[in-house]
Structure 1
Amino acid sequence: MKKRDPMKSDWIATAKTLNAALPYLQRYDGATVVIKLGGHAMGSDEGMESFARDVVFMQQTGVNPVIVHGGGPQINAMLERLDITSEFVRGKRVTDKATVEVVEMVLSGLINKKLVQAINAAGGDVVRAVGLSGKDANLMVCEQTDPSLGFVGTPVAFNPEFLRSLHAAEIIPVIAPIGAGRNGETFNVNGDTAAGAIAASLRADRLLLLTDVAGVRDAGGDVVTELSPDQILAMIDDGTIAGGMIPKVETALSAIESGVRAAVILDGRAANACLLELYTDHGAGSIIRNPR
């Protein structure tokens, strides 16, 4: 009698999963997907390695990924180590000259290169990533957002052709949200804002905002899987969407208005979150798009 392989059922399940993913693999072939990885979503080396493998998989199946990362917790830790005290205006940190130097050091140095290294390690000799900030190739030129906040910038001009040239060379760009001023300034840019603006400049198919929450919740606390811009505005008006979720959904709305097909807010700490969103029926988190 032929001996049954106990692993056969696992192989069959894997084959079925790949078969079910085929329409989505075809759907996103050649698509540009901008992914914002929040600082809280980079909480462990294992999580970063898992994210890196997902990005490599996406690139190898025809997606053009652009990674924009944050680093708020890491910046706070470094400011504390250096005994640099921050001032706050209306609840927002004032980024003075000393602070912006630390921000650039942490984002463009420590975090950016760690993430690039993780993607390159996952990609072996096949996939390459390169670390950038908005100052490289005038990728993201900024104006001062509010003089009272110091060196905090709002993106006003972009160089999407530079990113397209990297994709043509099969290189994954990993971008720190540091912007260049027209007069030589260095500006700290909110990571979500930077990701949304870059996605808009590329007319990306998807903007994935990876954070530390499962998505947009309704009044009962349940995650809403699909929302229109009008529904988002109504939920802001009635207070259902509040606090730190407001700037995230505003980023999503702005990106959609500028030509991005859809934005998704999802939990970056969940295993394979990006793959679940792109390549499965149920997706992950909350997708925001115009009604079809």
Structure 2
Amino acid sequence: MVVVKYGGAAMKSPELQASVIRDLVLLSCVGLRLVLVHGGGPEINSALERAGVKPQFRNGLRVTDAPTMEIVESVLAGKVNKHLVSLVCLAGATAVGLCGKDARLLTARPSPDAAELGFVGEVARVDPSVLHPIIASGYIPVIATVAADETGQAYNINADTAAGEIAAAIGAEKLLLITDVSGILTDPDDPGSLVKEIDIAGVRQMVAEGKVGGGMIPKVECCVRALAQGVRTASIIDGRVPHSLLLEILTDEGTGTMITG
């Protein structure tokens, strides 16, 4: 099984979005069992701006007060999820749209930084039982990362984090984060400094040295956690590159950065 997280500016272009989904469906057609976990940052930002709210981030995570949470849930679990399900179906596969609240797929808990971040949650528990029959039927679950805690309070879960926890819970072989960066760079200002492959120890050293920061922190952390829980490889790949998903899975060269245990 392969868990694919799709998000960032890689979702902005309708043409590129359709291409990514077609590649996903192609992989499904040749026998891969896939789960698609999605973000929706650009769409959420647009909705917030229309509502007169300026988006705010801390360490790559969206600051989410109560009005922002309502917009996040409406956009992610509604508009974006339904759109991606529709694209998968148009490309010839069958998708099932879900969010973390459905069948208690994800149970949230407040972030330790809740005082600063608001309703940003962590994944307290994953119950993948709803996913198994969907995957076994050859369908593609498309998951929006809005979840609730034990009291029913909704939380915004970082999509990278959720994808990693879901990958571990279903025993996935691979975790792929499709985003709007080329991967891990030894020099953030030099695209040619891409790290093609690195292990957990190497990633931790780069974080400690300050070479990984901002929005890359949740991505790297979720990869490390997934690997520690049994996922074999985790890759961060550039969704702006045509067919990056196919290149990563079907070629030895791959794209982006692959992290191993």
Band the TM-score falls in, shorter-chain normalisation: over 0.9
Alpha-carbon distance, 1:246 to partner: 2.2
Query: What do residues 238-272 of structure 1 show as CA deviations (whole Å, max 9, x unaligned)?
Result: 22223322221111101100111110001011111
**Which stretch of the first structure deviates more once superposed, 257-266 or 210-219?**
210-219
Q: Which amino acid aligns with 1:37?
A: Y
Q: Does 1:172 align with 2:172?
A: no
Q: Write the mapping of 1:129-148 to structure 2, written as runs, cut at 5 A.
A: 129-145=95-111, 146-148=113-115
CA RMSD of aligned residues (A): 1.7
Mapped to 2, the partners of 1:35 and 1:195 lie a distance apart of 7
**Which of the two has higher C-alpha Rg?**
1
What is the SS of the residue equivalent to 1:41?
helix
- Give the aligned partner of residue 63 of structure 2: 94
Mapped to 2, the partners of 1:161 and 1:267 lie a distance apart of 31
**Which stretch of the first structure deviates more once superposed, 92-101 or 66-75?**
92-101
- Aligned 8 A contact 2:237 2:244 in 1: yes
- Give the aligned partner of residue 217 of structure 2: 246
Change (3 A) 1:170 1:205: same
- Give the aligned partner of residue 281 of structure 1: 252
Q: Structure 1 residue aligned with 2:18, among 49, 55, 61? A: 49
- Aligned 8 A contact 1:39 1:74 in 2: no
Q: Does 1:114 align with 2:116?
A: no
Alpha-carbon distance, 1:85 to partner: 4.8
Q: Does 1:215 align with 2:186?
A: no
Unaligned runs of 5+ in 2: none
- Aligned 8 A contact 1:66 1:174 in 2: yes
Query: What do residues 130-188 of structure 1 show as CA deviations (whole Å, max 9, x unaligned)?
Result: 11100011110111114312211111111212111101111100000101211011110
- Give the aligned partner of residue 28 of structure 2: 59
Change (3 A) 1:88 1:184: same
What is the SS of the residue equivalent to 1:62?
coil
Mapped to 2, the partners of 1:240 and 1:100 lie a distance apart of 31
Alpha-carbon distance, 1:93 to partner: 4.2
Unaligned runs of 5+ in 1: 1-31
What is the SS of the residue equivalent to 1:278?
helix
What is the SS of the residue equivalent to 1:281?
coil
**TM-score normalised over the length of structure 2:** 0.93
**TM-score normalised over the length of structure 1:** 0.83
What is the SS of the residue equivalent to 2:107?
strand
Query: What do residues 91-131 of structure 1 show as CA deviations (whole Å, max 9, x unaligned)?
Result: 854322211110011101111111111110001xxx20011
Query: What do residues 184-229 of structure 1 show as CA deviations (whole Å, max 9, x unaligned)?
Result: 1111001111111111111210000111111111246511111011
Mapped to 2, the partners of 1:242 and 1:136 lie a distance apart of 33
